Structure 1
Amino acid sequence: MTVKTAQKITLWEFFQQLGKTFMLPVALLSFCGIMLGIGSSLSSRDVITLLPWLGHPLLQAVFIWMSKIGAFAFTFLPVMFCIAIPLGLAREDKGVAAFSGFVGYAVMNLAVNFWLTAKGILPTSDAALLKAHNVQNVLGIPSIDTGILGAVIAGVIIWRLHERFHTLRLPDALAFFGGTRSVPIVTSLVMGMIGLVIPLVWPWFALGISGLGYIIDRAGEFGPMIFGTGERLLLPFGLQHILVALIRFTEAGGTMDVCGQTVSGALTIFQAQLGCAETHGFAESATRFLSQGKMPAFLGGLPGAALAMYHCARPENRHKIKGLIISGVIACVVGGTTEPLEFLFLFVAPALYVLHALLTGLGFTVMAVLGVTIGNTDGNIIDFIVFGILHGMATKWYLVPVVAAVWFVTYYALFRFAITRFNLKTPGRDIDTTSEETSATTSAQGQSGYNVPALLNALGGAENIDSLDNCITRLRLVVKDMSRVDEAALKANRAIGVIKVNQHNLQVVIGTQVQSVKDEMVQLMRAPQAVAQTEAG
């Protein structure tokens, strides 16, 4: 639910909102990656040689089908971003914004194709000429491949056009083309003109991204550490998605020829190699930025930190926090979602979180030095099995449990020392807080398992909320009066953390059930409006 507000957003807030829009295509990427990973692994010659019964035609048909379905997201990734960005950023008429995103992206590439044709570059079958101008098929249109960066820029422009024109009022004779109908029309005209400019300016964008990639490459084995540490440090501010997208989908994450096509970005390279029958093994230069780097911290380190927090809790409180700790570990190890654990210590010990970020980055470097080649995005046990074990010994998956065990011991020792030495108030060490949490969460729980009415009251009530949305683990809100937000009450009702970005923007860390919490809260906020409308009628 969103309510239109006249408040202007800062650049910082804009990048937070932009990062949130990446979650829709990224969630699909994770699913498609698993489908592609399982399908390609179990249909490979090496696996069939090892397990001949998998060569049955019916099973192979299923595995090839999985590979085809899984490849979808990576084939149409840019257009998905261009649709998701205006969809996520628009306050009203989101469907129109998404439709305009597709229209704008297609028209932009048609205009680029027109320019290339007018200049005599197209049509041609000269591979060298096509490569020199970075021409590839985009939605079946021979065009300059601007990748994810081009799609993001186009998506932001289309969102601004939507915000400006979706309420456009025209004279009666032209009224049919006004309002929301004007958005795709205006988008077609504007993106058509932008498409004519792209061939002139895009080489400079590509040069800048390539320069960033060069800097990261020159950092050698410390490049992955810079990336891994930076991602963790940006996570509390909700800005990590910008850095991640830059490395995964642009030249900053590397460029490589795979099956006759030039692909850019660490994840894009990995998925291209995964779907290419001619490729054997995966490029270390790409996987060093992917799942394998997270595995020491996600499969070993954070569970070690969780055990340390449990052991450091008061004995009488351990049973009260056991569910919180266990659910956080499961979310981390199985789902690759770390915030439920990280926010247990982020606010009480920021220095400990910085150490965690450095150790996470170090895990990226250690995996790269050891030559492990496990790709995908989440760093969880599913990625370990599907993209590590199923692809054989060449991925060096057997090194992951060894390094994860070292990280487990290291985290456990560091966290236990810090918590006891500095008396950090991690869960279970404050008697009053834990008793309040227990009493507050035993009543009025909805389908989400949370006392959503109490959470809404702690936010100052429905009338105090201008905008309500969510990402993977957080409620993201714009509130009228921040002083009405009761942080203690939010935490007493199982909120993991509360981040006050500024005097109006607020983030409440819930965990993996945040979508259900948000949906229940929206229903509560709409109920009084429905009653008021009924009475007015």
Structure 2
Amino acid sequence: MSVKTSQKITLWEFFQSLGKTFMLPVALLSFCGIMMGIGSSLSSRDVITLLPFLGNPVLQLLFTWMSKVGSFAFSFLPVMFCIAIPLGLARENKGVAAFSGFVGYAVMNLAINFWLTAKGILPTTDISILKANNIQNILGIQSIDTGILGAVMAGIIVFALHERFHTIRLPDALAFFGGTRFVPIITLLTLGVFGLIIPLVWPFFATGITGLGRIINSAGDFGPMIFGTGERLLLPFGLHHILVALIRFTDAGGTLDVCGHSVSGALTIFQAQLSCPDTRGFAESATRFLSQGKMPAFLGGLPGAALAMYHCARPENRHKIKGLLISGVVACVVGGTTEPLEFLFLFVAPALYVVHALLTGLGFSIMAILGVTIGNTDGNIIDFVVFGMLHGLATKWYMVPLAAALWFSAYYAIFRFAITRFNIKTPGRDSEQTSQVEKTLSGAIGKSGYNVPAILAALGGADNIISLDNCITRLRLSVKDMSQVNGDALKALRAIGVVQLNQHSLQVVIGPQVQSVKDEMDMLMNSVQA
């Protein structure tokens, strides 16, 4: 939906929106990782020895194809970020913004290549010179490997240029180059100059990121706990993507030589090792920040919390909340999406959420101490099977069920004690609220499974909404008048949580079906305005 009125966003809102744009390439990266994981594991000698029928040439060609296709996201991750950022941030003409993102990233690297050539560093094939200057082939261009951070910087610049110039009007003689056509033109010129600056300032950025990585790594086995706890604490504010991207894709998550190439970032290292035929096992220094750390809390802890909330509900209400809790557990265990469960207690018991964040972080450290090496991004049962079990006992996947069982018991005991001792109003403990939900659910239900017209009314109607977007589990809105938003009605309409960021910005936590809810609301608003 396009923005109806111009509204200046705060720095907080900008970083939230920036973090949201990371999810498009990261989602593809996660899926590609699964393809690479299945392809590489089922073509390994150990698995073929165990299951000889997998050695069939046709099957091996299929597995090799899966690994090759899955390597796409790893090979082109920075350019995907540079395209996704202006695409996600732009309010209008998103296609032009995305096209300009590609133009900007390519031109930036061409300008860096020009600078390196002018300085006499290029052309060369000397491995020592290339390594000393951190030079890699990027889109077929020899350039300084600025990684994800360089792509993010370029993407933000492209977005700013797009917002400033996509409606520019030029004199009649130059009118052909005006409007949206001017955006890639000004992008080419601006990023061409920016690329000349990169070689001068990049060493300072690299030093800062490397220093951050040293701080995290100097904490030893406590480092993963800092990361895991920080990610959970930032999640309610929508800022966790920034921290996650920093660890997954920059030097802060470590640097390692894989198949003759220097690779930075925990997830990038893992995916490089996954696609490298010479790799035997995965680097513990990288996987300790990845899926394995989430598994104690995601596969054991949060299901334990859900069971505690079920047992603490009023007996007459348990059947009414069973579906809500089961769907949350499935989303968590199978999809790695935790917000449907976390937002059931975040707002009614923030202290309990802090305990959950600490226990999640502790899970990261315990997995690292036990020497588990299971990578990827989601921490769900799919990651456990594909990147743990299928890669043999070397990953120490058998430690995960033990840790998950321990976390299940701990969460269940802590949540049941806290809910009953402090009378926390988790689902089913308020009989009046439950009956209200029941009445609400009897209304019009769309394909999303939600009463979208009622949700729109609770938001103040179509005229109250300035902009509408969504991330993985939340509607992200800007509204004209926050007083017209009825938070209680939204919760009665099965919204898991309502987060008011300032007098205009609002987030409504829906869950895994948020995209369908957003699409239905878009159609409804367009029909109202027609």
TM-score (normalised: structure 2): 1.00
Look up the equivalent residue of 1:163 and give its one-letter code: E
Aligned-partner Cα distance in 2 for 1:150–1:230: 24
Aligned-partner Cα distance in 2 for 1:162–1:258: 38
The question of 1:397 aligning with 2:397 is answered: yes
SS in 2 for 1:446: coil
Aligned-partner Cα distance in 1 for 2:399–2:289: 17
Output aligned runs, 1:503-522, within 5 Å.
503-522=503-522
The residue aligned with 1:131 is 131
Aligned-partner Cα distance in 1 for 2:2–2:233: 29
The residue aligned with 2:120 is 120
The residue aligned with 1:87 is 87
The residue aligned with 1:177 is 177
2:482 touches 2:503 (CA, 8 Å); kept in 1? Answer: yes
Query: Cα deviation per residue 1:277-335 (whole Å; 9 max; x = unaligned)?
Result: 10100000000000000000000000000000000000100111010000000000000
Aligned-partner Cα distance in 1 for 2:7–2:107: 32
Look up the equivalent residue of 2:411 and give its one-letter code: Y
The residue aligned with 1:77 is 77
How many residue pairs were aligned?
530
SS in 1 for 2:335: coil
The question of 1:319 aligning with 2:319 is answered: yes
| Superposition deviation, residue 165 in structure 1 | 0.5
Aligned-partner Cα distance in 2 for 1:445–1:371: 48
Aligned-partner Cα distance in 2 for 1:466–1:289: 38
Aligned-partner Cα distance in 2 for 1:515–1:7: 24
The residue aligned with 2:496 is 496
Aligned-partner Cα distance in 2 for 1:253–1:295: 19
The residue aligned with 1:36 is 36
Output aligned runs, 1:135-154, within 5 Å.
135-154=135-154
The question of 1:67 aligning with 2:50 is answered: no
| Superposition deviation, residue 438 in structure 1 | 1.2
SS in 2 for 1:476: strand
| Superposition deviation, residue 2 in structure 1 | 2.7
Output aligned runs, 1:66-465, within 5 Å.
66-465=66-465
| Superposition deviation, residue 528 in structure 1 | 2.2
2:221 touches 2:365 (CA, 8 Å); kept in 1? Answer: yes
Look up the equivalent residue of 1:183 and give its one-letter code: V
| Superposition deviation, residue 17 in structure 1 | 0.5
The residue aligned with 1:20 is 20
Query: Cα deviation per residue 1:493-514 (whole Å; 9 max; x = unaligned)?
Result: 0000000000000000000000
Look up the equivalent residue of 2:56 and give its one-letter code: H
SS in 2 for 1:467: strand
SS in 2 for 1:508: strand
1:113 touches 1:142 (CA, 8 Å); kept in 2? Answer: yes
Aligned-partner Cα distance in 1 for 2:225–2:66: 34
The more displaced of 324-333 and 432-441 is 432-441
SS in 2 for 1:447: coil
| Superposition deviation, residue 439 in structure 1 | 1.2
| Superposition deviation, residue 359 in structure 1 | 0.1
Aligned-partner Cα distance in 1 for 2:367–2:180: 51
1:224 touches 1:361 (CA, 8 Å); kept in 2? Answer: yes
SS in 1 for 2:516: helix
Aligned-partner Cα distance in 1 for 2:529–2:379: 43
Aligned-partner Cα distance in 2 for 1:193–1:362: 46
Aligned-partner Cα distance in 2 for 1:6–1:327: 39
2:255 touches 2:265 (CA, 8 Å); kept in 1? Answer: yes
| Superposition deviation, residue 30 in structure 1 | 1.1
The residue aligned with 1:534 is none
The residue aligned with 2:5 is 5
Look up the equivalent residue of 1:108 and give its one-letter code: M
Aligned-partner Cα distance in 2 for 1:68–1:409: 42
TM-score (normalised: structure 1): 0.98
Aligned-partner Cα distance in 1 for 2:6–2:34: 42
Query: Cα deviation per residue 1:228-282 (whole Å; 9 max; x = unaligned)?
Result: 0000000000000000000000000000000000000000000000000101000
Look up the equivalent residue of 1:5 and give its one-letter code: T
Aligned-partner Cα distance in 2 for 1:380–1:454: 33
Aligned-partner Cα distance in 2 for 1:442–1:233: 36
Aligned-partner Cα distance in 2 for 1:89–1:441: 34
Gaps of 5+ in 2: none
SS in 2 for 1:478: strand
Aligned-partner Cα distance in 2 for 1:334–1:174: 55
SS in 1 for 2:351: helix
Aligned-partner Cα distance in 2 for 1:506–1:246: 26
Aligned-partner Cα distance in 1 for 2:326–2:180: 48
1:469 touches 1:477 (CA, 8 Å); kept in 2? Answer: yes
1:4 touches 1:91 (CA, 8 Å); kept in 2? Answer: no
SS in 1 for 2:142: strand
| Superposition deviation, residue 5 in structure 1 | 2.9
Aligned-partner Cα distance in 1 for 2:273–2:26: 19
Look up the equivalent residue of 1:389 and give its one-letter code: M
| Superposition deviation, residue 120 in structure 1 | 1.1
Aligned-partner Cα distance in 1 for 2:6–2:460: 20
Q: In percent, how many aligned pairs have the same letter? A: 81
| Superposition deviation, residue 4 in structure 1 | 4.2
Root-mean-square deviation (Å): 0.6
SS in 2 for 1:221: helix
The residue aligned with 2:46 is 46
2:462 touches 2:528 (CA, 8 Å); kept in 1? Answer: no
2:314 touches 2:429 (CA, 8 Å); kept in 1? Answer: yes
Look up the equivalent residue of 2:280 and give its one-letter code: H
Aligned-partner Cα distance in 1 for 2:387–2:442: 41
SS in 2 for 1:201: helix
2:228 touches 2:293 (CA, 8 Å); kept in 1? Answer: yes
| Superposition deviation, residue 118 in structure 1 | 1.1
Query: Cα deviation per residue 1:87-135 (whole Å; 9 max; x = unaligned)?
Result: 0100110000000000000000001011111111111111010000000
Aligned-partner Cα distance in 2 for 1:92–1:10: 19
Aligned-partner Cα distance in 1 for 2:178–2:4: 20
The residue aligned with 1:535 is none
